[in-house]
Amino acid sequence: MNVVIIGCGIVGAAIAYELSLVKGLNITVCDRQPPAQASTGAALGVLMGVISHKIKGKAWQLRQTSIQRYETLIPELEAITGHKIPFNRQGILSLCLEEENLADWEKLQAIRHSQGWQLEIWDKNQMKNICPQVDNEKIIGAVYSPQDRQLDPTALTLALVEAAQHNGVNFQFGVTVTDTQTSGQVCSQLETTAGKISADWFVVAAGLGSTLLTAQLHHTVDIRPVLGQALQLHLGHPLGNPDFQPAITGNDVHIVPVGGSDYWVGATVEFPSDGDEISPNQELLESVRQQAIAFCPELASAKIVRTWSGLRPRPEGRPAPIIGKLPGFNNVLLATGHYRNGVLLAPATAYAIREMMIPVDS
């Protein structure tokens, strides 16, 4: 059976690898640019699963599946590729500000406990003892999620590509889809800048590129860009206890240890004001840096090593992500529009796509 995946960010790469574990599939991945270039390359890789407030239905199921899969996926990829993937297993610390209601967190803690997951609620003194780098009188405590993770999205995507190649997947980069050929409810082939590609299944995992691709199939899925900016800071020494470096989040600002004494800080959420063009707003990025300094004052002396930005794909008028059949087609699957959760939900999305193609009971 021939499968074509369009798009090689974290989601497309995860699908390619997951399908490469199924015998009898002939898989091709095409992308107009190299892997992990678009929103994946800008992501911070903070996997907020257990600590998210999604508690039931598909939104929680996807998170739980991904968090579980990452524990086996990372060592699996490292064994195949021989490369280390930066994977922080020291959890996520969510700071609670004065206006927050700790009762909401206690409810979530009880629900997670019943689901078999851990959350710890720390008072101000516990937090000061364990994470002395957090120093702000407006912070009344914190919620610690020991089973949530953070990873390097680019390193992960490149490892997924390499492992999928090792399993026989064919990747074609620098290839743009120019047209499609359809008959009734079936798409039979893509016309690309590298020639025609036929397949039994097509998977659209192209993020913002999905709008144009689905338009070529006469069923436009409207996905809009939301800009995110982040920066890397070099401090010269680790914050707090060098042996305990969780990702810290508060007020939608993340402080992410990335080894040595460097930290990623981000990310902004910037919507287009006119059409689809968004210019990075320097003031917003600076306000994110100042918020990080307000949480961890030592960061004031850190040097900015680099800044970067990327566009996240946000579905218009419907929830993110979009995983399922493209209306009107039996053999075109959508795995797109993950907005701010592409890295978190990539493994679960890959499972879902595999299920749609090859049901477990078949």
pLDDT per position as a tens digit, 89-129 = 999 999 999 888 889 999 999 999 999 999 999 999 999 99
**Res 362 pLDDT > 60:** no
Instruction: Let me know: does 311 contact 340? Beta carbons within 8 Å.
Output: no
Is 53 part of any domain? yes
CATH number at residue 184: 3.50.50.60
Encode pLDDT of 60-73 as tens digits. Answer: 999 999 999 999 99
Structurally, how many domains does the chain consist of?
1
Give the residue-averaged pLDDT of 132-150: 97
Is 208 part of any domain? yes
Cα separation of 25 and 237, whole Å? Answer: 49
Using alpha carbons, select from 131, 142, 168, 171 the residue that is nearest to residue 5: 171
Give the residue-averaged pLDDT of 43-69: 97
Is 115 part of any domain? no
Alpha-helical segments (H) within 121-233:
124-130, 153-166, 210-216
> What pLDDT score does 359 carry?
78
pLDDT band at 189 (very low <50, low <70, confident <90, very high): very high
> What pLDDT score does 276 carry?
65
> What pLDDT score does 104 carry?
93
* Average confidence score pLDDT of the chain: 95
In the β-sheet with 262-266, what is the strand arrangement from edge to edge?
A: 120-123, 139-145, 92-97, 247-250, 253-257, 262-266, 223-234, 303-315
Q: Print the domain residue range for 68.
A: 1-87+149-222+316-362
Is 281 part of any domain? no
Is 78 part of any domain? yes
Is 295 part of any domain? no
Is 97 part of any domain? no
Is 269 part of any domain? no
> What pLDDT score does 273 carry?
79
